[in-house]
Structure 1
Amino acid sequence: MTHFIKADRFLLENEEKTNGYLQVNDNRFGVFVDAVPEDATVVDWSGYTIAPGLFDTHIHGINGHDIMDGTVDAVQGISKAILPLGVTRFLPTTLTSSKEDLNAAISAVRNAVQRGLAGAQSEGIFLEGPYFTEKHKGAQNPGYFRDPNYEEFREWQQLAEGSIVKIALAPERDGALEFICAVGDDGVLPSLAHTDADFDTCRRAVDAGARNFVHLFNGMSGLHHREPGVAGAALIDGRAFAELICDGHHVHPEVAALAARTKEDKLSLITDCMRAGLMPDGDYQLGEFPVVMKDGIARTETGSLAGSTLKLVDGVKNLYVWSGKPLYEVWHRASLSPAASLGREDVLGSIADGKLADYVVMDEDISIQAVAVAGEIKYRNN
């Protein structure tokens, strides 16, 4: 069924448009027009802005749930909790853990997807680890760190029924470059994280197919004028995407604005959210580590940041203020860039003819009023 959406403003793929009508054909966007036929079905959102659904490609949990709980309920809980926040697509993200716990988490995601998710839809699994190095371990458990093993990965991929789409590793581990080539040939996005590699090692990893850097500036060697390190490689190499947590704690606002200017459409906003998101301050668990959240900031007992409690839409709001860039451009860093990092920009991430009709309705304060997944309104702020 074809209908038209009327609104005051539309954040289209390459520009903002005021007034007008957006065509929706069943579950996909159609064209943007200035007028519609008299007999057209019109959904009137006058006074509001229509923007593409957000895509969080790095989220561990929220609202008391965590992917590493290894249960269908946890996956469903995350799916439901992030939908009212404007997120229509996400990558359920694991942590470095035992093989048994990873198996359970992968199975839970697979089973939840097969049964159908009630909120945001999974676009595949992100394995964050376990092939890291200890110096920048963050909240990852070094007791499980090891060299990349393609046969082990194939076992996980078989368990996931082919739904693992992204894996993070440290490129200085033995066999890392060969592993990057192998999983890249399988259509999986190799990403660099929790690493102390030098610039040249990172460049070789990108040459091999690692086209994404996980949570830029965090869990990696920093930028130095004589040794650019991992952060320098992420900023300098125009072939690679870089993830950014825009909560004002993981990265200084001015540095976040610098990254936005440097990486442009190769910047992906993420949350790296853990189970304490949407929850009150207190004691929580991230994987096998106890975590204390105070003033909305989650830290391990040693003081390391332990993921975030960020809402992706708040990351967009922050970068919009910090960078001074147009809203449609900043918004796409949390929708189109994440989709493009996975090679899915042809069907997801922006309002364009033929793409899946994931969209949010928001007011002038960028507060979410409604969310649609594939053309169907799934959330409405009563």
Structure 2
Amino acid sequence: MSNYIFAKSIILSDREVENAYLEITDDGQFGAILTEKPDGTIVDYSDYHIGPGLVDTHIHGYASHDVMDNDFEGIKVISERLLSCGVTSWLPTTLTDTTENLDAVCETIGRHAGEEKGAKIQGIFLEGPFFTEKYKGAQNPKYMSDPSVEKLDKWHRLSDGLVNKIAIAPERDGVEEFIRFAKEKKIHTALAHSDATYEQAKKAVEIGANIFVHVYNGMSGLHHREPGMVGAALDLKNVFAEVICDGYHVHPAAVEIVMKARGVDETVLITDCMRAGGQGEGASRLGEFEVVVKDGTARLKHNGSLAGSILELIQAVEHIVEWGLASLSDAVRMASLAPAKSVSIDHVCGQIAAGRAADFIVLDDKGRLQATYLDGVKRFGA
């Protein structure tokens, strides 16, 4: 017999249903949404809101573990701990590294994906190595190169088809062939760590690129004579714009500019979190670089540059609400449905719909996490 969740509101892809009952079937799927009290066991969340589990499509690590460690036991820990961040689906994200290390990581995740018991692996995001040195950020320039169809094909095969997103700098040689090949393989091309002109970014999008990675960070800025990557991210049609809403990477007013340009449907909240997430202040590392975590940021020890973040995705939702940029329901959509759509996994996650896995979160009015459910089972409680 089905169980029911009674909530102040249920956040759907296109609307909210207030004071309603959400059916959870015996096999852990979403069922009907009812406004009349049903027969069956009812879990009372009448003071809270129900939303889809969050989807982090750009996250390198958490809880002392990193995807580039090439240790699936560590990835299992990340998966479990992400439930406390409201995340129920994610893309393990790599860094610019040697071809051999990227081969190994793709193969390990491809072999073991599905063994994780927490947030579900829904693909792999390769952040690099096809970037430009000027905007390297915390990526290692000695491993950067022009895009290689052969390497992408190998990583896709080694991952058993899990690679579904790769970031490149659109000004590098061979981009057109690369994007076309990625599109054939149903791999989404993102643009990042780039000094591209507006026209170069525009051409990449016309060929098939559809995501701008952590907008404002690691890219050519907006100038009235050369709009650059930022201008392209704000102006071009049918693209998604990632933003890191930790209050350090991007000013709230700049976040609002992205939201006004792209709308809720195309603004993607991500964390870009690294292994120090959830661990407090102190020494850490990102790839081969030493990192210092202090005052809410992770910075490279040798030059003070931001090195990913320690942001949790539920905190990004809270910040959007706190900054007055969107309603709770829209903030949740930007951290669930929008990221899922950006990599075409919205058929398995990112929204509450009958027949889907009952992965959902319970939030208060400010977006603070109260509980996380996976396949209809409560897996985290505040």
TM-score per shorter chain, which class? over 0.9
Which residue is equivalent to 2:103?
Answer: 103
Range with greater deviation from structure 2 (339-348 or 205-214): 339-348
User: Per-residue deviation at 1:212?
Assistant: 0.4
User: Per-residue deviation at 1:353?
Assistant: 3.1
User: Per-residue deviation at 1:29?
Assistant: 1.9
Q: Which amino acid in structure 1 is aligned with residue 329 of structure 2?
A: Y
How far apart are the structure 1 equivalents of 2:292 and 2:76? 25
Which residue is equivalent to 1:81?
Answer: 81
How far apart are the structure 2 equivalents of 1:87 and 1:99? 30
Which residue is equivalent to 2:182?
Answer: 183
Which residue is equivalent to 1:8?
Answer: 8
User: Per-residue deviation at 1:155?
Assistant: 1.1
User: Per-residue deviation at 1:109?
Assistant: 2.1
Which residue is equivalent to 1:251?
Answer: 250
Say if 2:28 and 2:377, in contact at 8 Å, map to a contact too: yes
* Overall identity of the aligned pairs, in %: 46
Query: Residues 127-149 of structure 1, C-alpha deviation per residue, up to 9 Å, x if partnerless?
Result: 00000110000000010011111
Q: Which amino acid in structure 1 is aligned with residue 309 of structure 2?
A: S
How far apart are the structure 1 equivalents of 2:322 and 2:128? 33
Q: Which amino acid in structure 2 is aligned with residue 266 of structure 1?
A: E
Q: Which amino acid in structure 2 is aligned with residue 9 of structure 1?
A: S
Q: Which amino acid in structure 2 is aligned with residue 165 of structure 1?
A: N
Say if 1:347 and 1:354, in contact at 8 Å, map to a contact too: no
Query: Residues 26-73 of structure 1, C-alpha deviation per residue, up to 9 Å, x if partnerless?
Result: 333223211144x33323323222111000000000111100111012
Which residue is equivalent to 2:346?
Answer: 345
Which residue is equivalent to 2:314?
Answer: 313
Q: Which amino acid in structure 2 is aligned with residue 379 of structure 1?
A: F
Is 2:90 the counterpart of 1:90?
yes
Which residue is equivalent to 2:226?
Answer: 227
How far apart are the structure 2 equivalents of 1:332 and 1:16? 11
How far apart are the structure 1 equivalents of 2:313 and 2:76? 18
Aligned-partner SS, 2:268: strand
How far apart are the structure 2 equivalents of 1:268 and 1:160? 25
Say if 1:257 and 1:323, in contact at 8 Å, map to a contact too: no
User: Per-residue deviation at 1:304?
Assistant: 1.1
Describe how 1:31-70 pairs up with structure 2 within 5 A.
Answer: 31-37=32-38, 39-70=39-70
Query: Residues 179-228 of structure 1, C-alpha deviation per residue, up to 9 Å, x if partnerless?
Result: 00111111000000001010111111001110001000111001111111
How far apart are the structure 2 equivalents of 1:303 and 1:112? 36
Range with greater deviation from structure 2 (179-188 or 28-37): 28-37
Which residue is equivalent to 2:358?
Answer: 357
Say if 2:328 and 2:365, in contact at 8 Å, map to a contact too: no
* Count of aligned residue pairs for this structure pair: 379
Q: Which amino acid in structure 2 is aligned with residue 336 of structure 1?
A: L
User: Per-residue deviation at 1:106?
Assistant: 1.9
How far apart are the structure 2 equivalents of 1:24 and 1:376? 9
Which residue is equivalent to 2:330?
Answer: 329
Say if 1:274 and 1:309, in contact at 8 Å, map to a contact too: yes
What are the ranges of 5 or more consecutive residues in structure 1 without an aligned counterpart? none
User: Per-residue deviation at 1:16?
Assistant: 2.5
Which residue is equivalent to 1:71?
Answer: 71
- Mark the CA change 1:149 to 1:324 in structure 2 (over 3 Å): closer, same or farther: closer
- Mark the CA change 1:205 to 1:187 in structure 2 (over 3 Å): closer, same or farther: same
Q: Which amino acid in structure 2 is aligned with residue 119 of structure 1?
A: G
What are the ranges of 5 or more consecutive residues in structure 2 without an aligned counterpart? none
Say if 1:75 and 1:108, in contact at 8 Å, map to a contact too: no
How far apart are the structure 2 equivalents of 1:292 and 1:331? 30
Say if 2:122 and 2:345, in contact at 8 Å, map to a contact too: no
Which residue is equivalent to 2:148?
Answer: 149
Say if 2:221 and 2:229, in contact at 8 Å, map to a contact too: yes
User: Per-residue deviation at 1:153?
Assistant: 1.2
Which residue is equivalent to 2:296?
Answer: 296
Say if 1:59 and 1:271, in contact at 8 Å, map to a contact too: yes
Describe how 1:18-29 pairs up with structure 2 within 5 A.
Answer: 18-25=18-25, 26-29=27-30
Q: Which amino acid in structure 2 is aligned with residue 333 of structure 1?
A: M
TM-score, normalising length: structure 2: 0.95
- Mark the CA change 1:294 to 1:103 in structure 2 (over 3 Å): closer, same or farther: same
TM-score, normalising length: structure 1: 0.95
Which residue is equivalent to 2:373?
Answer: 372
How far apart are the structure 2 equivalents of 1:155 and 1:266? 30
Query: Residues 336-381 of structure 1, C-alpha deviation per residue, up to 9 Å, x if partnerless?
Result: 0001111222332122333332101123443322211232222233
User: Per-residue deviation at 1:161?
Assistant: 0.8
Range with greater deviation from structure 2 (242-251 or 45-54): 45-54
